[in-house]
Each structure stands twice: as structure tokens, then as C-alpha cells.
Amino acid sequence: MKSRIPKTVGVVAHTGKPDARKRLLELLAVLGKLKLSVLLERDAAGLAGKPKLAATIKEIGRQADLLIVLGGDGTILRVARDLDGSTTPILGVNLGNLGFLTSVRGDKLRDPVRAVLRGDYDVSNRQTLQTALIRGGRRKEAHRALNDVVISRGAFSRIVRLRLFIDGELLTEYVCDGMIFATATGSTAYSLSAGGPILVPTARALIITPICPHALSNRSVIAGDNSVIRCQVASAAAELLLTVDGQVQLRMEVGDEVEVRQSPQNVQLVTPKQHSYFQVLREKLKWSGANV
């Protein structure tokens, strides 16, 4: 996607972060000097004391050329969901440690944000997943995920049996604690902690990672981006939950199916030109090479 110079900028802030107001006012000062049109998500407008600039995230998605998110990876996941398919590019400013989805540090936001507003940035086109909970042959609910869709047990440690189908063909029946369906973007989230592979974020694939499988030969499976995955709950002795991006949670029953496929809607993440995904990977996973 070709970089463009934004004229209208939307801003969302995680108002619960300690430095949220300070960084929000700093960002607004930068935007004000450039005489850009600004829309503030309602919580951010309240925090900044500018109610006249307030708008919903959907309204920002329709009107803004760029959306700047002050928070962390979780805030970006929420915003990506609330945009409801809008392809407005998102620039993440982290109000803590650098994340995998945020690309600018909050305490050093001025220069990178100015560079982005000059059009000096790259856009990373991220695949999302469309998931549906099916009960009794009917689609009960549908949601979109940027990171992952997870089937997991509740508070009790009881195993579950999950039948997995890829494009209508049975792969196997897992005896496990749950299942993770992740995008390349989500490969460094829950799937990684469960032993899944790391994919570069622009890869088009669907990662299937069992959680604590009882057969040691069960490993992650990488399906094609056009594959349709169905996972059926064959048996469960305790509560099961379906979680989308760690934020939307649905209760599941024996016999329920979860369908996961690539969504036609992508998320556009903005990164400054000097940003390096591999450097973030090294820092976050503490890769430093051999200690010789």
C-alpha cells in the first residue's frame, strides 16, 4: 500500500495507562502545529478536555486518513475489532514496553509521529480471521480476529476431545486442553507459548496449535490461507470457552463447532521507516545468539 500524507487524524487512548493524558496532550500539540483535522475517540476526548472533537471509532474509521492508538497491543486489538472492517491505517504508540503491534515508544513519540505525518512510513497489511460458533447446525455468533481464536477449558482441569477438519477432511481427534487458531500476526502471542511456530507478520497462513495435547506427536499444523477449518467439541467434562483476540468470550457446549477461515477484511498497521520487526522479535524474545 502506497504511503499518503494524512489530512484527518483520529486518536484513541487507553485512558487507564499512567502516562495516557501526558502523551495524549503531547500528541495533540504535534497535530495542532501541523494544522491537521483531529477526531478523538470519546474517552480520549474526555481525557484531553476536548468534547467537541469526540467521535465513535466507527465514525473515525469512516472519516480519518490515519488512526493513532495510544496504549498497547491489547488496545490495538480492540480498535481493530471496533473499526468493523474499515481499512484506516493504524499507528500504535506504546505507553509501556514496545509491543509486537505497536511501533512507536510513548516517551519518544514526537519525531516518529512527525515522520509518519509527512508520509514517511510503511504499511503492513495484516490478515485477519473470520470465526463462527455453530450450534445445532446454526451460526450462533460470528467475530473477526487479528491475533487468534482460542478454544479453552474453564476453571477445572478436565481434558476435552476436539475433532479437527480441514477443508471438509478429518485431520485427527485431539485429546488436549484446547486449541489455538492464529494468524501470522498472532503467531507471537498465545500460539507461541503453546509451542507454535513464528511466522513473519505478512505471511498468509492459518496456524493450528493444540494446547497441552496428550499425544507428544501432536504438533502445530499450518494450513493455507484459503483453508476452511472446523473444530467440533466431541466431549468435555467441564466448561469450555471460545475466546477471540483475548477479548470476546463465548461459552461452548458438547457438539458445538467452531469454523475459522480467512476474513476478506485486513488490518493496515503503520510503521515508521526505521522500524524493524526482527529487532523487536530479538528484544521481546531475548535472542542474543550463543554465549561463547
Residues labelled catalytic: 73
- How far is it, in rounded angstroms, from Cα 137 to Cα 108? 52
Are 284 and 188 in contact by the 8 Å Cβ rule? The answer is: yes
- How far is it, in rounded angstroms, from Cα 165 to Cα 118? 48
Are 110 and 26 in contact by the 8 Å Cβ rule? The answer is: yes
Backbone angles phi, psi at 282, to 5 degrees: -65, -40
Q: Which DSSP string corresponds to 6-49?
A: -SEEEEEE-TTSTTHHHHHHHHHHHHHHTT-EEEEEHHHHHHHT
- How far is it, in rounded angstroms, from Cα 91 to Cα 268? 9
Length of the chain: 292
Backbone angles phi, psi at 80, to 5 degrees: -60, -35
Mention every residue, 6+ apart, whose C-beta is less than 8 A from residue 116.
66, 91, 270, 272
Closest of 163, 100, 161 to residue 126, by C-alpha: 100
Q: In a 3-state reduction of DSSP, which class is residue 256?
A: coil
- How far is it, in rounded angstroms, from Cα 272 to Cα 109? 11
* Cell reading at 146: 487479528
